[in-house]
Amino acid sequence: MMSRAMAHDFYDDEQARTRAWPSLFGLLQTRAQRSPARGIYMRDERGAQEFRTYSQLLAGARRVGHALKERGVAPGERVLVAQPTCFDALISFFGVCALGAVPVPLPWPREIDAFKGLTNLMRWRRIARRYDARVLLCADLGVRAESGWPGVWPPYPLEHVLDPQRLLAGQPAHVDFQAFEPQPDDVAYIQSTSGTTGAPRGVMLTHAGLRTSLEAIGRRIEASSEDVQVSWLPLDNIMGLVGAVFFAMHWDIRLVLMPPERFLDQPEDWFWAIHDHRATLSLAPNFAYNYCVRRCQNSALEGLDLSSWRIAMNGSEPVRAQHMHRFRERFKAFGLQNWAQMPVYGMSEATLGIAFHPAGQPPRIDGINRRTLEWDRRAEPLPEAGAPSPYERMHVVSVGRPLDPVEICVIDEQGNELPERCLGEVAMKGPTVMAGYVDATKREASDVQPTRLRDGWLLTGDLGYVADGDLFYVSRRSDCIEAAGGKRLIFPEEVELFVDSVDGVRSGSTAIFSDPDHGDEDRLVVAFEVQTGADAGELDDRINALLAAHLDVHPVRLMHLPPRSVPKTASGKVRRQLCARLYADNLLGRRRSAWPAPGALRASLRDLSEALSASGESASVRLKALFGGASKDE
């Protein structure tokens, strides 16, 4: 019998041709034509499920494109798309693509009321100014969403704030619409970076780059139309949009989507979706696997069968050997395969995929001397007898080898390539590198530039090393803390890992950063959220003893925080540099009032006032429009 890998090699060329598509909208068209009965399952926050075929999604996208064209949206124009995980989000995105316009997905807030709706709209208005966008497709914000108050609403520079349901209300079920045909190297959509090191930047991804990345990832994980994928990742996140939606379409895979809120509230529902659909693929950041170990109750898992799950991709942040082990040990009783977890490495600027561990092989874990890595920047293997002290023991997980079209190397600060087992910045080159950043989102030369382009290479801002051809990702360079006059590097993830292991600390809610007012020595601050009911006073001695023994780290301050006070990105990454700024301003951990904060209220009103002033109309004209009626067409 032909093995899965042999079958892939035998049919590679022919199957690659059948997977070719000219554009993102062409991807949806191709899938609807070739797999008319296939589609996407959508599980809502209550656990109910709905199914739509790709043909239905294509019809909806055509109607959105037709309606936007009637409102004057043109090819190349940028359109903001802010939606929760739902079918409207997909038809909105692909409807913008159908026009040849460029969608910009934005994160959807977890909670919505009138004030928060206004606050988010004002924030999106600022984004619209940066992206030179005049159209926003968004769900109901709890405030007036449709255009209709000339000069007053929507806020400048937005000309249309459109709810897809209302947008399509007057559209026929079938429209005569000719989709725009872009060039392969045209910008397909703009992906926002996670924002861990500063304001998110707009990454311009091309149709050709997306197709190349999807093909390369699928070949590495041996994807086929027999696979079924489950994802709870938000659709503004590149792992959720490219890694789940586009990937499933490209490889003709059945897809199940669920909102991230459902996962956060009831993480076991992720596993039940895998169980119900006999899913074979799913992906998540490292924190999610540890979150499930700590949050899932056995009573909620009774009868669960995860034996179909062949690949659990783990990426977006450093993959922890301890977390992989705990996850495997916890869920092997429910049929989880021994080597289902697949460490991966990628980023938005590289169109998601850079390096992936081979499918079906056990992850490679490198035992190295921590002291040598921190002080000498070398990943020296531990002797067979083990480390002489806990501080000198460190385990780093391999994220595999570069995908076929990608070239990687590790460089020093001068840009020189380093030999194996030397710590440096990871650089990559290949056809999947972004077209560039949106100009208005580029950072000033004086700001931190964690990721940048140089002579055709993408310098990632990540620290890692290569050993026997495998890439080992260690930390984000800008998050590392220099000690001993810059001679020692402290990796924040390592410190956070030990703090998170202490009972009473909320897992995944620890932030490590420097106190700028404490000089060059001993300036480490450890801020962590305390579990409800835990005695915060008892935690300090245990944490200090643990960090001293295992890391030779002696924090200048341990800071107790209430739940949900450590700022994170939409994908769950801790924003350490924002924590440092809030700490410096004495704002970190401040409890939020149920009422809008005066500062936030003033900012929203100031934004609204500025938007009205920028409309270029007199107050009398605006008031006349406000009280004189609104046009239904706007």
pLDDT digits (tens, 9 = 90+) for 191-249: 998 765 557 889 999 999 999 999 999 999 999 999 999 999 999 999 999 999 999 99
- In this prediction, residue 578 carries a pLDDT of 86
Spatial distance between the Cα atoms of 142 and 146, rounded to a whole number of angstroms: 11
Residue 2: pLDDT band with limits 50, 70, 90 = very low
| Helix/strand/coil for 610 | helix
**Token pair listed for 60:** 């909806």
**Residue 594: is its pLDDT beyond 50?**
no
Question: Does residue 549 sit within a domain?
Answer: yes
Please give the mean pLDDT across all residues of the chain. 84
| Domain count along the chain | 1
Range from 194-203, 280-289, 429-438 carrying the lowest mean pLDDT: 194-203
Helices (H) and strands (E) in the chain, counts: 19, 28
Domain that residue 493 falls in? 481-584
**Residue 519: is its pLDDT beyond 80?**
no
**Token pair listed for 230:** 């489950």
- In this prediction, residue 422 carries a pLDDT of 97
For residue 264, what are the contacts with CB-CB under 8 A and spacing of at least 6?
A: none
Question: Which candidate, 438, 389, 442, 34, places its Cα nearest to that of 204?
Answer: 438
- In this prediction, residue 169 carries a pLDDT of 85
What percentage of residues in the chain have a pLDDT greater than 70?
Answer: 84
**Residue 593: is its pLDDT beyond 60?**
no
- In this prediction, residue 616 carries a pLDDT of 46
Taking residue 548's Cβ as centre, other Cβ atoms within 10 Å add up to 13
What is the CATH number for 533? 3.30.300.30
Residue 486: pLDDT band with limits 50, 70, 90 = confident
Question: Does residue 299 sit within a domain?
Answer: no
* DSSP codes, 143-204: S--S--BTTTBSPTT-SEEE-HHHHTTTS-SS---PPP---TTSEEEEEEP--SSSS--EEE
99-113, 130-144, 173-187 — which one is most confidently predicted on average?
A: 173-187
- In this prediction, residue 153 carries a pLDDT of 62
**Residue 49: is its pLDDT beyond 70?**
yes
- In this prediction, residue 493 carries a pLDDT of 87
Any idea what the Cα angle at residue 279 is, between residues 189 and 260, rounded to 5°? 50
Burial class (CB in 10 A: 0-12, 13-18, 19+), 561: buried
- In this prediction, residue 620 carries a pLDDT of 41
- In this prediction, residue 449 carries a pLDDT of 64
| Peptide bond just before 154 cis, omega within 30 deg | yes
pLDDT digits (tens, 9 = 90+) for 611-629: 545 444 444 444 444 434 4
pTM: 0.86
142-146, 271-275, 290-294, 501-505 — which one is most confidently predicted on average?
A: 271-275
**Residue 134: is its pLDDT beyond 80?**
yes
pLDDT digits (tens, 9 = 90+) for 309-342: 999 999 888 888 888 889 999 999 999 988 899 9
Question: Does residue 545 sit within a domain?
Answer: yes
Any idea what the Cα angle at residue 284 is, between residues 427 and 220, rounded to 5°? 55
- In this prediction, residue 391 carries a pLDDT of 84
Residue 150: pLDDT band with limits 50, 70, 90 = very low
Question: Does residue 292 sit within a domain?
Answer: no
Q: Report the pLDDT averaged over residues 362-377.
A: 92
Residue 20: pLDDT band with limits 50, 70, 90 = confident
193-197, 285-289, 414-418 — which one is most confidently predicted on average?
A: 414-418
What percentage of residues in the chain have a pLDDT greater than 90?
Answer: 49
